[in-house]
Every structure is written in C-alpha cells, then in structure tokens.
Structure 1
C-alpha cells in the first residue's frame, strides 16, 4: 500500500483507527455490558426460550462480533477506495 503523500497516509490511518475504536466499543458494550453489567435487567426478557442476559453472554456477543467483522471489511474497503489504495 503506497500513498501519494504523508498527509493522505495520516488521514487514512486516523479514519481507520476511529473505525476500529467504534467497533470495539460496540463489541465491548454487547459482550461486557449486556453479558455482565446489564444481565439482571436483560434477564427479565426471553429470547428463543432463554433469558436475554444469558443469551447475550453465551451467544449474542459472538454473533455481534461476527457481524462487526463484516462491517469492518465493508467499511475498510470503502476507506481504501477513498484513499486510492484498494487492490
């Protein structure tokens, strides 16, 4: 990957870092927040026969993580095209 100048490289990595941080915050909220901190509140609801807090702790955070991977790939490809470093 080569950039025309260092300003474009810095802009690219700044946007990429912001994207990664946003996605990690979402994942942390779902896995830690919904699976541990908010489990008592979420357990008042059912999802597919399981308490919702339990479901987030066991399955939900994994599904969200997989979705976030696909979101990162799509956003990263868009970012690469924006800065002219796509394949």
Structure 2
C-alpha cells in the first residue's frame, strides 16, 4: 500500500470517528433530551417553557447547527493535518 493510500485511509477513519461522535451527541440531545429524559428535564424551565419541551422543539435544532460549525472546524484541522487543504 502506498503512502498516499495509507494517508487517505487514516484521514477517512479519523473523519468517521468524528462523524460518529457528533451524530451521537445529536442523537442524545434530540432523542434523549426530547423524549427519554423529558420528565426529568421538565422539572426545569427555560424562557417560560419546560426544558424537555424546549429541547424537543428548539434545543435539538440549536445543537444541530452548533455541531455543523464544530464539524467544519474539525474538518479544516483534519484537512491541514493530512495535507488536503487548499
């Protein structure tokens, strides 16, 4: 296997690792906070709304948008690390 191929394989593995981590965070926030942990979170209020309801309606969307920016930043670093930046 050539060095270029090994570099591409390592890049892809690291990319998948970050994808799994970020998608897990999104799943926990959207499904976990909005559905599974709703009752416990509803003990608290945010902006006049129960926290479980807020996560189900708004929080998971905010977290998703934040995760997009985090992914862009991570991928920019990864591109530089493996020499794929322009």
TM-score above 0.5: yes
Which structure has the higher relative contact order (CA within 8 Å, separation 6+)?
A: 1
- Distance in 1 separating the partners of 2:77 and 2:44: 38
Structure 2 stretches of 5 or more lacking a match? none
Partner of 1:33: 32
- Distance in 2 separating the partners of 1:48 and 1:27: 22
Q: Which has the higher helix share?
A: 2
Q: How many residues align?
A: 84
Scaled by the length of structure 1, what TM-score is found?
A: 0.95
Scaled by the length of structure 2, what TM-score is found?
A: 0.96
Shift of 1:14: 0.3
1:43-77 C-alpha deviation (Å, 9 max, x unpaired): 00001110000000000000000000000000000
C-alpha root-mean-square deviation of aligned residues, in Å? 0.7
Partner of 1:82: 81
Shift of 1:5: 1.1
Partner of 1:66: 65
Structure 1 stretches of 5 or more lacking a match? none
Runs of 4+ in 1 over 6 A off after TM superposition: none
